[in-house]
Amino acid sequence: MPEGTYMIFLDLTGYCRRTGNTLDAVIKAGWDVGVSWQDGRAFQGPCHIRMNLASPFSRIQEAFDRLDRYVFHVNTQC
């Protein structure tokens, strides 16, 4: 059994600039499709999202598939 956590810190600065989306809109869009992630601003990431990857690979793959299909290929601007 793993004895620690595995976090990824995603920098969305370029994505938000290119698309005009806000970090808040992207965070909400992820939660709306069932992906649990955290606002990275609490961890000194001004346009970052923090995700825990301490799950079975199939769950991580499903989450990234949802993000790809429903969040990052759709305009989530408010």
Cα 38 to the chain's mean position, in Å? 7
What is the reported pTM? 0.82
What's residue 39's pLDDT? 97
CB 20 within 8 A of CB 8: no
Q: Which domain holds residue 38?
A: 7-71
Please name which of 5, 49, 47, 57 lies closest in space to residue 30, comparing C-alpha atoms: 49
Assess if residue 22 is contained within a domain: yes
Number of domains in the chain: 1
Assess if residue 76 is contained within a domain: no
Per-residue pLDDT of the chain (78 residues; tens, 9 = 90+): 656 678 999 999 999 999 999 999 999 999 999 999 999 999 999 999 999 998 899 999 999 999 999 999 865 454
Assess if residue 57 is contained within a domain: yes
Collapsed DSSP state (helix, strand, coil) of residue 22: coil
